[in-house]
Every structure is written in structure tokens, then in C-alpha cells.
Amino acid sequence: MPGLSIFGIPGLPEITPGTDLAGAIHAAAAEAGSPLESGDILVITSKIVSKAEGRIVDLASVEVSPFARQYAERWEKEPAIVELVLSESRRVVRQVGPILITETRHGFICANAGIDQSSSGGHGLAVLLPLDPDESAMRARQALRSKGLDVAVIISDTFGRPWREAQTDIAIGIAGMQPVTSYIGQVDPHGHEFRVQALCTADEVAGAAELVKGNLSRVPCAVVRGLPWEPDDTASMQSIIRDSERDLFR
Amino acid sequence: MPGLSIFGIPGLPEITPGTDLAGAIHAAAAEAGSPLESGDILVITSKIVSKAEGRIVDLASVEVSPFARQYAERWEKEPAIVELVLSESRRVVRQVGPILITETRHGFICANAGIDQSSSGGHGLAVLLPLDPDESAMRARQALRSKGLDVAVIISDTFGRPWREAQTDIAIGIAGMQPVTSYIGQVDPHGHEFRVQALCTADEVAGAAELVKGNLSRVPCAVVRGLPWEPDDTASMQSIIRDSERDLFR
């Protein structure tokens, strides 16, 4: 039965600022007996991208504004984290009790601007989202291309969503394949246009990859193999951010 | 490399009211050379569940209210569809121009109450969501159990989401496995609690299954094999609907 196979890439070294991330992933996959192949989609958790890019902040170095300090004290949050969330954001979407949902500098809407204190390589540190996850994905794609591989790359992160409990992994950066599969204008065998007009394949791939990565297992990369995609170096996740004029929930 | 395999089940017959859906899927999988196995997660597109359960409405039989007629005329929508959307809903969440986002009778928030005119088996018909998708999933699970198989079942549908263009498949019904994997109280190697506290595995599985089903390929079922789950017959997708008091976007 043709289908997909999805597997994690274990054995990555600790990632630090300046690590050749694509090189490390390429080597770990080979070492694990599952070398990357052209046609693969490589999904990389944003946190290790951030670490490789030096997006780590020492909380002691953060200058906290009065607004952030007051809010942090009221809700027993860490003042430096609140300050970082605000400075990584361009707009507060909801601020209700201790919950702070913002629009990040990239345009993503999520809790705490995607800032992560877990597994950040030590106490007192926070990991920020990559500055430009599409560009991060493209850098990894190009590094793999220089090794003779045509691989699409997705940078994933774990976001909540309205209306439903628990979170899912979605794509925040992409290179090599378009994130959306469009059915616009196509009709079913009965002549009706499809109710579903466009599927965000990239988000589904990111979620599928999470199933093998897990958040505890320290496997921050996965490969989705067997899903056809058209090489396209104009792809971006920026393109799926809904314009605020068309958005009903901001 | 251990991992997941995901494949579609082709060759299903046309589903009509009263079709033994689990039996038909079981037979089609065997016929395709990939029989279901205990431990599999079977993902079924809600539309064929609805068809098997007779949730098909002849639009000519729908009595249209003045409110629905006025709205349909103003925005060039089909009056009977608007009426069905309202009668399948318990609350209108957003009504902006032609866009109608409601809370369904189950508590899901989506466009047009999940009603589908495409592939509905003929013109002038609409397919409604299953009345109780958790129960539909449990019926399929029990039917497969009677054939000696311990299979988890997810009923999926295609929903939009705020802030991001394009749609993804999510789970609207589940049986046999809990939809959420919780990390609450667990700490990383540095002693920090995880930022991510609970992942909605069921939604990620539904999205992963969409990658092999596709909306055009007429493969309405898929199998996710290799993902461990604990058998639990108390599971439901109702449990992941966020209480309206805790929801910031209703």
C-alpha cells in the first residue's frame, strides 16, 4: 500500500549558537540508518533553530518596563518573560488574567509570543522564536541542496487554538514546497464545487511530525516521506497569515 | 527506524443510509492488501459516516424561515442551506457578510455548521454532520472489536481556523484512545515545567490522515499505524471543547 512513513531523527548533539543545524541533522539521520532522501519533507522544531541562531536571552539582562512589571506581579509571572513577550510582539490580541495572547513580529497569533523557558539550556534563559522562520527553513533547504538533496523543510512550533483544549504543532516556516493545496474551481463527480477549497498541508505535516517527535522524547526533527510536493522556492508561511481586514477573531 | 505508516483505504463502495460502514472498511482494507490490525488508528471522514447514518437532507423539503431567506437573498446563498446551518447550530458566533460561523449542536465552532453540498450523492442534497460523532466512532470500534480487532477510531472533518488561511482536518469524534497527551507536571532535564502542557494527538492524527486521503481522491478512510495508544473506552472529542467561560474568542 503506498502511503507515508514518518520517523524521528534521534541522536542530535546539543544545539548551541552557531551549530550547523542542517549538517547535524543530515549526519544524525545517516548515523541512525535512515539517511535523508530527495523528496523528503524535513520538519524541525523551532526551538533548536532558535538555539542554532542564538535566539537565547539571559533573563537577568532584560530591562523590564513598569507595565510589564506591574502585570507580572499581579499574576505571579516572571517580569523578564512578560517584557520579552511584549517586545517580541506587535500587538496584544487578548490580555485576560494571566493569559497573554499576542501577534508576534511575524504575524502569528499565539500565547506568550512563542517564548519558551523549557529545555532552554539552563535556568534563567528563554528561547525566542526564530527571527524569520521562512528564511531559516530556506537556509536548511539550501544546505541540504549543497549535499545533493532536494528536501522541503518545515519549521514547526506548538500553538494553542481557540475553542479547543490542548495544542497542536503547526508550521511557522517553510521552504521548497507551497504550504497550501488548493481545490478552488475543481468540482466533484456530481458537478458541485468542493466545500473545502484549500488545505494547509504544511500544518498537517507539522502535526503529523509531532506524533513521532513528542515533546518529552528529545527528538526535535522528523521526516515525512512519501508525500508528493512540487519544488517551489517562493513558498512561505507568511503567505498563510490572514489579513487583519479579513479576520473575524482579532 | 521505527515510526508511523499512514495509508489510505481505497475501493470503498458508495455509502448509503444503512451501509455497514465498519464492515465495508474492514473488507476494503483486506481487499487492498492492507488488512486492519489491532493497534491501528482508523480515521474516517465524517461525510461517509453521515451518509451511512442517513444524515442527508433533500433541500426541497426544508422549510425556510424569513430570517434565513432574507440573509440568503442578500448574500446569494441557497436559502435551504442557510436554514439548515441555523437549525444545526445552537449559537451564531460570527455573521459577517456571507460568512456564517456558528457553534454546532455538538459545540464545535465552524463555518456553515459543517454542512456539505459536495459529493452528497446528487444535486439538491446536503450532508449534515453526524448527530453524535463520538458515538459513531464507538459504533465502528465495537463492530471491529466483534471481528477480533482492537482499533481506535477517529471521525474527522475539515475546519477552518482564525488567523490562518486554508483549512485542516481535525477530529470531531473518537473512540478507544484519549484525544490528548498530557505533559502537565512533567519537567525537562533542566527542571523546568514544559511550556507545552497537553497535545491534541487526535487532531494531529486526523490531519496526518488527510495527507493520504485528500479531498479529491475519493479515499475517505486512512489508517495510522505505529502510534502507541492506551485503550480507553471513556474517550471523547466532547472533552476537548473549551468551556465558553474559559474561551477568549467567542
Per-residue pLDDT of chain B (250 residues; tens, 9 = 90+): 579 999 999 999 999 999 999 999 999 999 999 999 999 999 999 999 999 999 999 999 999 999 999 999 999 999 999 999 999 999 999 999 999 999 999 999 999 999 988 655 557 899 999 999 999 999 999 999 999 999 999 999 999 999 999 999 999 999 999 999 988 777 666 666 666 689 999 999 999 999 998 766 679 999 999 999 999 999 999 999 998 888 888 8
Per CB-CB distance under 8 Å, the chain B contacts of A195 are 112, 116-118, 158
pLDDT of residue B158: 95
d(CA B50, CA B108): 16
Best CA proximity match to A129, nearest among A152, A150, A147, A103:
A103
List the one residue out of A204, A183, A208, A185 whose CA is nearest residue B161. Answer: A204
Between CA A98 and CA A112 the distance in angstroms is 10
Interface touch A200/B248, C-beta < 8 Å: no
pLDDT at position A117: 81
**C-alpha pair distances (Å), A63 with each of A13, A68, A81, B22:** 32, 10, 11, 60
Interface A:B, Cβ pairs < 8 A? 239
Question: What is the reported pLDDT for B131?
Answer: 98
Query: Does the distance separating the beta carbons of A122 and B248 come in below 8 Å?
Result: no
Strands A152-161 and A41-45: parallel
What is the number of alpha carbons within 13 Å of residue A205 lying toward its C-beta? 35
Residues B241, A165: C-beta atoms closer than 8 Å: yes
Residue in B with minimal Cα distance to A121: B190
Three-state SS at A237: coil
For residue A161, give Cα distances in angstroms to A158, A164, A193, B47.
10, 6, 28, 24
To which H or E segment does residue A92 belong?
A: strand A89-96
Strand partners, A241: B164
pTM given for the model: 0.95
Q: Does A238 touch chain B (CB under 8 A)?
A: no
Residue of A nearest to B181 (CA): A166
Asked if B118 reaches chain A (Cβ–Cβ under 8 Å), the answer is yes
Helix, strand, coil content of chain A in percent (nearest 5): 30, 30, 40
Stretches where chain A sits below pLDDT 70 are 1, 118-122, 187-196, 215-217
Q: Tell me whether residues B8 and A5 touch, CB distance under 8 A.
A: no
Give the closest-approach CA distance of B146 to chain A in angstroms: 25
Any CB–CB contact under 8 A between A36 and chain B?
no
Name the minimum distance, in Å, from the CA of A184 to any CA of chain B.
Answer: 11
CB A62 within 8 A of CB A39: no
- Phi first, then psi: give them for residue A169, nearest 5 degrees: -80, 135
B10: closest CA of chain A, how far (Å) = 10
Give the model's pLDDT for residue B148.
98
C-alpha dihedral, B29 to B33 to B37 to B39, nearest 10°: -90
* Cβ distance of A116 and B195 shorter than 8 Å: yes
pLDDT attached to residue B188: 63
Q: Chain A residue with minimal CA distance to B187?
A: A118
How much is the pLDDT for A217?
65
- HEC states along chain B? CCCEEEEECCCCCCCCCCCCHHHHHHHHHHHCCCCCCCCCEEEEEHHHHHHHCCCEEEHHHCCCCHHHHHHHHHHCCCHHHHHHHHHCEEEEEEEECCEEEEEECCCCEEEHHHCECCCCCCCCEEECCCCCHHHHHHHHHHHHHCCCCCCEEEEEEEEEECCEEEEEEEEEEEEECCCCEECCCCECCCCCECCCCEECHHHHHHHHHHHHHCCCCCCCEEEEECCCCCCECCCCCHHHECCHHHCCCC
- Domains of chain A (ranges; CATH) run 1-53+130-241 (3.30.1330.100), 56-128 (3.90.1660.10)
Contact B86, B102 (CB under 8 A): yes
Tell how strand B4-8 and strand A4-8 pair up. antiparallel
Q: Which amino acid type is present at position A222?
A: A
Mean pLDDT score of chain A: 92
Residues 6+ apart with CB under 8 A from A233: A138, A141, A175, A176
Residues of A in contact with B214 (CB under 8 A): 181
| B46 interfacial to chain A (CB closer than 8 Å) | no
Residue with cell 505535516: A205
Phi/psi at A161 (5° precision):
-150, 155
Window 88-107 of A, Cβ < 8 Å to B: 94, 96, 99, 101
B211 touches chain A (CB under 8 A): yes
| Residue B72 near residue B82 (C-beta atoms within 8 A) | yes
- Kindly report the backbone phi and psi dihedral angles of residue A239, in degrees, each rounded to the nearest multiple of 5, phi listed first: -70, -15
The helix-helix angle for A66-74 and A79-87 (nearest 10°) equals 130
